[in-house]
Amino acid sequence: MIPVMEFRQFSEQQPAFRVLKPWWDVFTEYLSVIMLMIGVFGCTLQVMQDKIICLPHKISSGSENICEVNRSFFLQLQPNFSNGPGEMRGVKNDLDLQQYSFINQMCYEKALHWYAKYFPYLVLIHTLVFMVCSNFWFKFPGSSSKIEHFISMLCKCFDSPWTTRALSEVSGENPEEKDQKKSGTSRSTTPLSPEESSLEKTQSLRSIPEKIVVDKPSASVLDKKEGEQAKALFEKVKKFRLHVEEGDILYLMYVRQTVFKVLKFLVIIAYNSFLVNKVHNKVCCEVKEIQDVTGYTVFECNHTMAHLFSKLSYCYLFLVAIYGLTSLYTSYWLFYRSLKEYSFEYVRHETGISDIPDVKNDFAFMLHMIDQYDPLYSKRFAVFLSEVSENKLKQLNLNHEWTPDKLRQRLQTNQNNRLELQLFMLPGLPDTVFELTELQSLKLEIINNVTIPASVSQLEDLQELSLYQCSLKLHTSATSFLKENLKVLRVKFDDNKELPNWMYVLRNLEELYLSGSLGPDASKNIVLESLRELKCLKTLYLKSNLTKIPQSIVDVSSHLQRLYLHNDGTKLVMLNNLKKMTSLIELELVRCDLERIPHAIFSLTSLQELDLKENNLRSIEEILSFQHLRKLICLKLWHNGIMYIPEHIKKLSSLERLYFSHNKIEILPSHLFLCNKLRYLDLSHNDIRFIPPEIGVLQSLQYFSVTCNKLENLPDELFFCKKLKTLKLGKNSLSILSPKISYLTLLTHLELKGNHFEFLPQELGCCCALKRSGLIVEEALFETLPSDVRDQMKEM
């Protein structure tokens, strides 16, 4: 006898796969096991017992039907017990046992109906086909891998401590009490719309509370290792969703196997209902081929299993009918409901996690199947589809990694003499930052989805905030705090999300630095909104691609003192708005492709510093108009294409710093040195061959640079500028350094490298403030100095 356990391999799957088996699949599996037992039982009887027993039949010569059984003949077969015990009598056929066995076998093959012979085998085959078909989608290579990955992630998500913590945090109360409140209020008072009513019917999570959450605080404790595991789960779920939502192979496989089972059920019912009556107990057998062997051609046979097979067949038909009706219900469920879409509407409503996305295709189908097993699985799995939940987990991991002590070690003093913390490329902003109460400046670089909480109010000394390619949001209380306390804001952005809308309400902001694409075309650039609320704004820096000065800048023109416009080479053509900025004391127009000095600048009577770096200036004849700017002390015309300096420059008598480096100047006019207040003069990187002796007039000169020119000698009058502290003469064609260098007793930096000097004058020893580190010269040339001078310079 074949044990039933041998057939378990056709239906047995991994224990975890049970979550994808709805009640009808489980029910049909039990039906299949019963049908399998019927088939095995019938096959065992077929093999172990005699199939048919036959006796020869003597036919009268006048009989028309050889299978017409004479009732008296059968009576002769019955022993006569009425006369009491006596001699046993019967019909003698003169056949031995082997002949009877031969007759039984021949009649079994020739006379017995095929259905009566093969019924147990048909039951066994059909049942095995049912069992294989029911589990085919678990075995098919294209679907089994997806199912295995899904089940693996589902179990990990269900058991993850983060799931419990996330659901307990968003609920804010005992979930069971929350469900009771909902059932007692919202369901009783608010009528459901047809759409909501439909959703309630299809969404089986409606009545399932979160059973895993406990009230003890210890349940929400998540250590670092568990946090990392949950983080990995988020990544796996995200990638799996992208992969599975692309196709619907699981849905199609399940539909096909269900349709196949329905068709098979109809075929089995049809032919079995017709043939079940073909199983008879008495069979007439006529085999002419064996007359020479047995002496008979007609036999009367008894099918010993007929009665039992008849009962088993009716029982089998009943089980198949139940199996088929269950398959029909499955088909109705598959085609009536939209199984390629799955809505987490109720989960979002119950948990408060509003960003859980709806899913589609195979992902949706598997979740529908899970709901038939236990809707709680879908609810807990949904936590790992939420970006809000993922961000909270990242925040928790950040807090574990970045402790207050670790952050304090990164504190540095910035150029504004503020205590600054710089964080670079983190997945978020650690909450522990707001425990550094001594923090004055916070710099965040390439950090996405940053939210500054209300706890920022603990940073009472915070005055400066830098956001470089960061998408940042503020809590309402944080906005109020920054509105009152923030003095400096620096923002570097690439898209609209990185330009904070809340910056327009920072009424105490004094300095604003923006770097990104700004322009009037909103379809391509980010539009800068009005800054009129920034009543205290004094410094505005814009690094962008402007073609004109935005109106938003004009809104703050009455109190704006410093304006820095750094273009990316885009031509700035409309500068008339500059005339309205009468309070400006500093103006930078860098890389604006200016060919002439804008006339609007000459109206800025309060201007003290002007920088026109990296433009396309060739001529600066308009420099005469600068005489109206009485307060102008710094003029930067460097990195242009200026060929000469006009004589009108002598009118700028208030100038103290003048930058002409990186131009194409060949001749220095003597009128330049009539600007006798000059303290800083940079003429480096030009084509100058001669320095006029009038340079000696600049008695206030402290910095003078002619590096990278074509000078062959220096006027002695240069050394009459006794306040010089920095003198840069490098990369020229000088061969002699005058001993009058000794007049420059305040000199601290002297650059001589890249000339043709053969020796250095020993008078350098009179420059008491000059040390070896401040003397930029070849080492071999330095060795030409007397040893005592060298030792003096090497002293710290």
pLDDT at 94: 66
Rg for the chain (alpha carbons), in Å? Answer: 50
Exposure pattern of 197-220 as b/e (b: 16+ CB <10 Å)? eeeeebbbbbebbbebbeeeeeee
Separation CA 211–CA 231 (nearest Å): 23
Query: Is a pLDDT exceeding 70 seen at residue 70?
Result: no
Average pLDDT of the residues of the chain: 81
pLDDT (average), residues 482-506? 87
Query: Is a pLDDT exceeding 80 seen at residue 111?
Result: no
Nearest to 222 by CA among 394, 435, 451: 394
**For 197-201, 462-466, 683-687, which range has the lowest pLDDT when averaged over its residues?**
197-201
pLDDT at 176: 40
Query: Is a pLDDT exceeding 90 seen at residue 584?
Result: yes
Separation CA 53–CA 293 (nearest Å): 18
Nearest to 396 by CA among 236, 224, 237, 235: 224
pLDDT (average), residues 546-556? 84
Question: Would you list the DSSP string of 688-716?
Answer: -----GGGGG-TT--EEE--SS------G
Query: Is a pLDDT exceeding 60 seen at residue 194?
Result: no
State pLDDT tens for residues 431-448: 899 999 999 999 999 887
Question: Would you list the DSSP string of 545-571?
Answer: --SB--HHHHTTTTT--EEEEEESS--
What is the percent of the chain with per-residue pLDDT over 90, rounded to a whole number? 33
Neighbouring residues of 624: CB distance < 8 A, sequence distance ≥ 6 = 646, 648, 651
Note whether 590 and 613 are within 8 A (CB).
yes
Nearest to 464 by CA among 414, 518, 423: 414
pLDDT at 368: 86
State pLDDT tens for residues 404-432: 999 999 999 998 899 999 999 888 888 89
User: For the packed helices 249-275 and 141-159, what is the interaxial angle rounded to 10 degrees?
Assistant: 110
pLDDT at 608: 94
Task: Quote the DSSP letter at residue 518.
Answer: B
Neighbouring residues of 393: CB distance < 8 A, sequence distance ≥ 6 = 162, 166, 227, 230, 231, 234
Neighbouring residues of 607: CB distance < 8 A, sequence distance ≥ 6 = 584, 585, 586, 587, 601, 629, 631, 632
pLDDT at 564: 94
pLDDT at 709: 96
Separation CA 400–CA 118 (nearest Å): 71
Domains of the chain, first to last: 4-58+95-140+252-338 (1.20.1440.80), 630-795 (3.80.10.10)
Query: Is a pLDDT exceeding 50 seen at residue 470?
Result: yes
What is the percent of the chain with per-residue pLDDT over 70, rounded to a whole number? 84
Nearest to 652 by CA among 631, 679, 667, 668: 631
pLDDT (average), residues 726-746? 94
State pLDDT tens for residues 30-62: 898 998 898 888 888 777 766 777 778 766 444
Note whether 661 and 640 are within 8 A (CB).
no
Structure-token match 């139940």, residue found: 322
Separation CA 494–CA 620 (nearest Å): 36
E strand or H helix that includes residue 390: helix 387-401
In this prediction, residue 665 has a pLDDT band, given cuts at 50, 70 and 90, of very high
Separation CA 125–CA 267 (nearest Å): 14
- Token reading at 641: 């294409």
Separation CA 277–CA 258 (nearest Å): 30
Instruction: Tell me if residue 75 falls in helix, strand or coil.
Output: helix
In this prediction, residue 512 has a pLDDT band, given cuts at 50, 70 and 90, of very high
Query: Is a pLDDT exceeding 80 seen at residue 72?
Result: no
Query: Is a pLDDT exceeding 70 seen at residue 502?
Result: yes
Provide, for the chain, the percentages of residues in helix, strand and coil under a 3-state DSSP scheme, each rounded to the nearest 5: 45, 10, 40
Going by their DSSP bridges, the two strands 464-468 and 441-445 should be labelled as parallel
pLDDT at 204: 40
pLDDT (average), residues 325-339? 88
Task: Quote the DSSP letter at residue 59.
Answer: P
E-only strand ranges, 287-407: 298-303, 341-342, 359-360
E-only strand ranges, 453-570: 464-468, 472-474, 488-492, 511-515, 539-544, 562-567
Query: Is a pLDDT exceeding 70 seen at residue 5?
Result: no
State pLDDT tens for residues 346-392: 888 877 777 788 888 888 888 888 888 888 888 888 877 877 777 77
State pLDDT tens for residues 248-273: 888 888 888 889 989 988 998 888 88
- Token reading at 51: 């199939």
276 or 572, which is more confident: 572
